[in-house]
Structure 1
Amino acid sequence: MAILISIAIVGWAYRTAISDPIVRFATVEMLPAESSQKQLRILFLSDVHVAGPDMPPERLSQIVRQANAQRPDAVLIAGDFVSDKALATKRFSLENAIAPLGDLKSRFGTFAVLGNHDHWRSAAAAYSALRRAGINVLDNSAARAGPLVIGGLDDAFTHHDDLSATLRAMAALGGEPVLLSHSPDPFPRVPAEVKLMLAGHTHCGQIRLPLVGAISYMSEYGDKYACGVVIEHGKTLVVGAGLGTSLLPLRLGAVPDMWLIVVKRRSRSLMPRAEPPINAAFRVG
Structure 2
Amino acid sequence: MRKLLAILATLAFLGAAFLGWCFREATSDPVVRRAEVAMPGLAQPLKIVLLSDIHVGTAAMGPKRLGRIVAQVNALKPDLVVIAGDFIFGHDPQGAAKLGPAMVEPLRALRAPLGVTAVLGNHDYWTGAQAVRAQLVRAGVTVLENSAALRGPVALGGISDDFSGHADVRATMQAARALDRPIVLVTHSPDVAPDLPADAHLLLAGHTHCGQVTLFGHPVAPEVSRYGARYRCGLVSEGERTVVVTAGLGTSAVPFRLGARPDVWLLTLVPAAIAPSQKAR
Same fold (TM over 0.5): yes
Runs (4+) off by over 4 Å: none
The residue that corresponds to 1:227 in the other structure is 233
Give the one of 144, 154, 158 matched to 2:150: 144
Counterpart residue type for residue 205 of structure 1: G
SS at match of 1:224: coil
What's the counterpart of residue 20 of structure 2?
11
Quote the residue 1:2 is aligned against. Answer: 11
User: Which residue pairs with 1:239 in the alignment?
Assistant: 245
Match for residue 30 of structure 1?
Answer: 39
Gaps spanning 5+ residues in structure 2: where? 1-9
Count of aligned positions:
268
**In 1, distance between residues paired with 2:104 and 2:229?**
30
TM-score (norm 1): 0.89
Output one character per residue of 1:25-52: Cα deviation in whole Å (capped at 9) or x when no partner. 010011537x2x2x11000000001124
Paired with 1:98 and 1:78, the residues of 2 have a C-alpha distance of: 16
Quickly say closer, same or farther: Cα 1:221–1:98, change in 2 above 3 A.
Answer: farther
1:96 aligns with 2:117: no
- Give the TM-score taking structure 2 as reference length: 0.90
Greater shift, 95-104 or 15-24, is seen at 95-104
Q: Which has the larger radius of gyration?
A: 2
Aligned 1:269-280 pairs, distance under 5 A: 270=276, 280=280
Give the equivalent residue in structure 1 for 2:122. 116
Task: Output the amino acid matched with 1:139.
Answer: E
Matched residue, 1:177: 183
Work out the CA distance in 2 between the residues paired with 1:32 and 1:212: 38
Could you say what secondary structure the match of 1:195 adopts? Answer: strand
* 1:5-84 equivalence runs, <5 A: 5-30=14-39, 32=41, 35=43, 37=44, 39-84=45-90
Q: CA deviation at 1:209?
A: 1.9
Q: Contact (CA 8 Å) 2:212, 2:219: kept in 1 or not?
A: no
8 A contact 1:199–1:239 mirrored in 2: yes
AA partner of residue 37 (structure 2): V
Given that 2:58 and 2:251 are in contact with CA atoms closer than 8 Å, whether structure 1 keeps it comes out as no
Q: Which runs of 5+ in 1 are unaligned?
A: none
The answer on 1:190 being equivalent to 2:199 is: no
Q: 2:267 aligns with which of 229, 243, 261?
A: 261
**Paired AA for residue 14 in structure 1:** F
**Residues 209 and 215 in structure 1, CA contact (< 8 A), matched pair in contact too:** no
Residue 220 of structure 1, CA deviation: 0.6
Amino acid at match of 1:145: R
Distance 1:208 1:231 in 2: 23
**Pair 1:207-2:207 in alignment:** no
For 2:111, the equivalent position in structure 1 comes to: 105
SS in 2 for 1:4: helix
Paired amino acid for 2:11? A
1:193-249 per-position Cα deviation (integer Å, ceiling 9, x unaligned): 111100000000000023754423311111111000001121000000000000000
CA 1:220/1:268 → structure 2, altered by over 3 Å: closer, same or farther? same
- Coordinate RMSD, CA, aligned: 2.0
**Is the 2:246–2:265 Cα contact (8 Å) retained in structure 1?**
yes
> For the structure 1 residues 132 and 67, does the alpha-carbon distance in structure 2 shift closer, same or farther, using more than 3 Å as the test?
same
Q: Which moved more, 1:110-119 or 1:123-132?
A: 123-132
Output the CA distance in 2 between the equivalents of 1:98 and 1:247: 22
Give the superposition deviation at 1:269.
9.0
| Distance in 1 between residues matched to 2:149 and 2:218, nearest whole Å | 42
More deviation, 48-57/257-266: 48-57
Contact 1:31–1:263 under 8 Å retained in 2 = no
Give me the identity figure in percent: 46
Query: 1:108-159: per-residue Cα shift (whole Å, max 9, x none)?
Result: 0011000011101101111111112111100000001101110001111110
Corresponding residue number in structure 2 for 1:164: 170
Q: Matched residue of 1:83: which SS?
A: coil
Give the drift of 1:268: 6.8
Secondary structure of the residue aligned to 1:182 is coil
